[in-house]
């Protein structure tokens, strides 16, 4: 057992950090290489995990393939698979402080926030367990040319699930819950920067007796991850991450007509109509951007207001966002923690410089906080007078950086909001519900919130344009893991009599 004890957050431990979870057991990798996981707040090594090589990934895929083709798992009654989901949910609830600590130390998320967000993960598993009893996996039909017909929903097969470092456990569960309920088997590729919570998940899977090969968890770099995408034994890829990587995955799986779901990047707009209070909007947007320190693909980073109100919004956002307390994620007084890693901090600061170079007005922030000597921190940053065609208005920054863009009128504001290759999220701020709904129907994004950052996983999350393909969450998120089969018989089997 490898113990990782800390005064920062809850005590945590990983029992098999030097191993990979393949075919229901913890196995040593084929090489001695591994990944150092860095604490975002201290820049020190937190722990080290095994790195999967090509042979290890091959073994994980083989285990998932065998479990799907030769074990009872795909043919169990959905309620039986649902009970495994409930046990996973219970196990995660018991270790929520531990998984929250991993998340905060790896990604810099405020510990107070991680405890609340982690608690919702188990709810997703329970929701899918409930679906086992209500979803029509078998729907009898009245065929035109046969005495009996039924449309059955069967598991799509072996799923390769790839999640990023910003919210690995939550995103993994939004893939695993529907996949396992459907009867699929899974190879879960953990991010090298943040594998802790997924090791905990694998330990729980072992403890509850999840059948061998149904869930395999490996940590790998990009080259070995691409092996998972290319392997013909994998029937579907479910990926969350950048649009650039998503495009590559789509091109690879398209060659073999494999299924895929992609939840990709965003450059989401908050459209502020003239009837809405500027100070209230600024406070709401600032608070939302502190969530995960801006490392959220759905962040409302483009703030669009009419020209007459541009300067008022710049002053309000600069004052509120600029006064956010940046500090250790385990300090109760902190409102914004560090970014997840040094390269991410450098990336964000590079975009800040690009914004200045391209003529935007830096209202506040844009530097490393002077009072913090260690940690991957960036000051909350606001730009004004941002051209909608500029780099910082078009490319995903993934940090606490807001851009204010001026519109001529309401129609122009909608046009500006839609003027990117992305379409993941958006919001409209107005006191008029009808006006909000009318604007929501014209905004080209997968989710539209009213007067704030809003999302609902049970209603489905996903994007238009280059923000993705398909949906995750709720009933919409279950369907991509199922194939429809039409069965035509000369008479009704006993199951339907």
Which residues are annotated as catalytic? 263, 297
φ and ψ at 281, to 5 degrees? -60, -45
What letter would DSSP give residue 338? -
**Distance separating alpha carbons of residues 112 and 327, to the nearest angstrom:** 13
CA atoms within 13 A on the CB side of 494: 0
What letter would DSSP give residue 272? E
Strands ordered across the beta sheet of 138-141: 138-141, 148-155, 482-489
Task: List the structure tokens of 427.
Answer: 């919001």
SS3 label, residue 216: strand
Between the alpha carbon of residue 375 and those of residues 121, 199, 293, 399, the distances in Å are: 27, 24, 13, 15
Task: List the structure tokens of 331.
Answer: 């300090």
**Distance separating alpha carbons of residues 129 and 176, to the nearest angstrom:** 12
**Distance separating alpha carbons of residues 251 and 264, to the nearest angstrom:** 15
**Sequence-separated (6 or more) residues with CB below 8 Å from residue 282:** 313, 316, 317, 319, 320, 321
**Distance separating alpha carbons of residues 244 and 254, to the nearest angstrom:** 16
Is residue 271 within 8 A of residue 443, CB to CB? The reply is yes
Task: List the structure tokens of 486.
Answer: 């039409």
Task: List the structure tokens of 5.
Answer: 């004890």
Of 284, 280, 291, residue with least CA distance to 116 = 291
Q: How remote is the C-alpha of 314 from its chain's centroid?
A: 30
Q: How remote is the C-alpha of 130 from its chain's centroid?
A: 23
Q: Where are the beta strands (DSSP E) in 125-220?
A: 138-141, 148-155, 158-162, 185-190, 215-219
Residue indicated by tokens 């999967």:
52
**Distance separating alpha carbons of residues 429 and 433, to the nearest angstrom:** 10
φ and ψ at 213, to 5 degrees? 85, -10
Kindly report the CA angle at 122 between 116 and 124, in degrees rounded to 5?
Answer: 105
């Amino acid at each position: 057992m490898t113990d990782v004890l800390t005064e920062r957050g809850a005590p945590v431990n990983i029992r098999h950090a030097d191993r990979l979870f393949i075919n229901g057991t913890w196995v040593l990798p084929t090489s001695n290489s591994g990944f150092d996981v860095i604490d975002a707040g201290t820049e020190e090594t937190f722990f080290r995990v095994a790195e999967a090589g090509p042979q290890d990934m091959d073994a994980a895929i083989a285990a998932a393939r065998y479990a799907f083709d030769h074990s009872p798992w795909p043919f169990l009654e959905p309620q039986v698979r649902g009970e495994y989901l409930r046990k996973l949910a219970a196990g995660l609830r018991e270790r929520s402080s531990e998984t929250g600590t991993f998340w905060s130390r790896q990604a810099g998320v405020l510990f107070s926030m991680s405890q609340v967000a982690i608690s919702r993960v188990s709810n997703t598993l329970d929701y899918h367990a409930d679906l086992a009893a209500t979803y029509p996996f078998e729907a009898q039909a009245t065929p035109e040319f046969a005495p009996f017909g039924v449309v059955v929903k069967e598991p799509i097969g072996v799923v390769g699930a790839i999640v990023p470092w910003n919210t690995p456990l939550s995103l993994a569960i939004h893939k695993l819950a529907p996949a396992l309920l459907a009867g699929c088997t899974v190879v879960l590729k953990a991010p090298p920067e943040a594998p802790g919570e997924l090791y905990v998940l694998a330990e729980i899977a072992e403890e509850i007796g999840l059948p061998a090969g149904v869930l395999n968890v490996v940590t790998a770099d990009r080259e070995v991850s691409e092996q998972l995408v290319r392997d013909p034994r994998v029937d579907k890829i479910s990926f969350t991450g950048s649009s650039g990587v998503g495009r590559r995955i789509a091109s690879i799986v398209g060659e073999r007509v494999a299924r895929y779901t992609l939840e990709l990047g965003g450059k989401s707009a908050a459209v502020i109509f003239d009837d809405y209070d500027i100070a209230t909007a600024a406070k709401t947007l600032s608070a939302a951007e502190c969530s995960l320190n801006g490392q959220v693909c759905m962040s409302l980073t483009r703030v669009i207001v009419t020209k007459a109100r541009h300067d008022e919004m710049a002053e309000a956002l600069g004052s509120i966002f600029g006064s956010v307390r940046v500090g250790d994620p385990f300090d109760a007084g902190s409102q914004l923690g560090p970014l997840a890693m040094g390269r991410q901090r450098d990336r964000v600061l590079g975009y800040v410089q690009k914004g200045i170079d391209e003529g935007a007005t830096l209202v506040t922030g844009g530097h490393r906080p002077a009072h913090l000597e260690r940690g991957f921190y960036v000051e909350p940053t606001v730009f004004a007078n941002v051209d909608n065609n500029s780099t910082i208005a078009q490319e995903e920054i993934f940090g606490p950086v807001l851009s204010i863009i001026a519109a001529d009128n309401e129609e122009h504001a909608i046009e500006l909001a839609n003027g990117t290759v992305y379409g993941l999220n958006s919001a409209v701020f107005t006191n008029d519900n009808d006006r909000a709904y009318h604007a929501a129907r014209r905004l080209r994004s997968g989710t539209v919130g009213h007067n704030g950052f809003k999302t609902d996983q049970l209603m489905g999350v996903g994007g238009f344009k280059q923000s993705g393909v398909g949906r995750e969450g709720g009933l919409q998120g279950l369907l991509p893991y199922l194939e429809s089969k039409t069965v035509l018989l000369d008479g009704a089997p006993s199951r339907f009599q």
